[in-house]
Amino acid sequence: MTDVTLYHWEPNANSGKPMLALAEKGVDYNSHYLDLLNFDQHDPEYLKINPQGTIPAMTHGNLMLTESTAIMEYVNEAFDGPELMPSDPQARWRVRWWMKFFDQWFAPSVSMMGWNWFVGPSVRERDPEELAARIERIPMPERRVAWKKAIYGLFSEEELRVSQQRAEIGITLLEEELTKHKWLGTDEYTLADINGFNLGFALPMSQPDHCNDEKTPHTMEWLRKIYERPATKETWAKGRTELASRVTFLERQ
């Protein structure tokens, strides 16, 4: 019996962060899969849990938590199991710095391209009236705009250009950082690695010219090392789409 329930989509991006953190801690949780491509996150039932209509959300007893990165810090503190933050305060700062850089700068650009490539095309063919109705019930105005752009293919060239440029810069900065310590920002495996893996595991496939064994050997090794961890294997096995199954690309030859 567990009093933890996680509402999540695929092990990827924001959903995958608490999934992997819980798995690393060895915390058993009720997994409540919401199909983002079916707009499950805007169902009235789910809005009672998270009125913003975004994924992930977690309940622990009668507590309700949102915001994937903050949930990870909570998971690390609230449960026994391996420590996922460094003990040195300055190393903790570095871990948090990288998570913010991912969450606010790097990941949104990668995500925009993902929505353009996967999310939009996956739902576009449905009945136009149904789609319009689905968009109508999205609670956050910014998200309504994002969905419209994805569904109707309205991302501007300029937007996509900036996202691509940021992805390339992000890949370079990450590679440089990974030459400095054993893990990201420090010598211990932390939440920053978990966060970064969720953003980065597919980069060798989506950005093959920029993220590969020749140009970014440290990043490739880092991704493979994380992929090999039992918690990662267990978590990615919960995926139901090609988004998650791509992870096997990281299998060592």
Partner 1 sequence: MKLYHGEPNAASLTVMAALFEKGINAEFEAIDLCAGERHDLPITYGVEVLRSVEGEGPVLVNNGEAMADSVFIGCMLDESKGDATLLAGDAYRRWQIMVWCRHVIERVAPAASYIGNQAYLQDALKRMSDADFAALTAKIAAEDLRGRWEEVRQGDFTEERLAECRAKIVQMVDKIEAQLSGDWIFGDFSLADLETYSWLRGMLSLVPESFDGHDSVIAWMGRVQDRPSVAKALSLSVTGSPEKAWPVGPEINRWG
Ligand X SMILES: N[C@@H](CCC(=O)N[C@@H](CS)C(=O)NCC(=O)O)C(=O)O
Cβ neighbours of 6 (radius 10 Å): 23
| 89 touches, from partner 1, ligand X, none (C-beta below 5 to 8 Å by class) | partner 1
| 55 touches, from partner 1, ligand X, none (C-beta below 5 to 8 Å by class) | ligand X
Taking CB under 8 A as the binding criterion, the range among 13-21, 65-73, 117-125, 238-246 that sits at the site for partner 1 is 65-73
Q: How far apart are CA 27 and CA 21, in angstroms?
A: 9
Taking CB under 6 A as the binding criterion, the range among 11-19, 78-86, 171-179, 230-238 that sits at the site for ligand X is 11-19
Is residue 165 within the footprint of partner 1 (CB under 8 A)?
Answer: yes
In the region spanning residues 44 to 73, those forming contacts with ligand X, defined by CB under 6 A, are 53-56, 67-69
Q: Report which of 156, 199, 180 is spatially closest to residue 12, judged by C-alpha positions.
A: 199
Is residue 149 within the footprint of ligand X (CB under 6 A)?
Answer: no
Q: Report which of 241, 230, 195 is spatially closest to residue 100, judged by C-alpha positions.
A: 195
In the region spanning residues 98 to 137, those forming contacts with ligand X, defined by CB under 6 A, are none
Figure out which of the listed residues 3, 176, 187, 221 binds partner 1, where binding follows CB under 8 A: 176
Q: How far is CA 189 from the centre of its chain?
A: 17
Is residue 93 within the footprint of partner 1 (CB under 8 A)?
Answer: yes
Is residue 161 within the footprint of partner 1 (CB under 8 A)?
Answer: no
Closer residue to ligand X (CB): 43 or 234:
43
Figure out which of the listed residues 142, 157, 209, 214 binds partner 1, where binding follows CB under 8 A: 142
Residues that bind partner 1 (CB under 8 A): 63, 65-67, 69-71, 73-74, 77-78, 89-90, 92-94, 96-97, 100-101, 104-105, 108-109, 111-112, 140, 142-143, 145-146, 159, 162-163, 165-166, 169, 173, 176-177
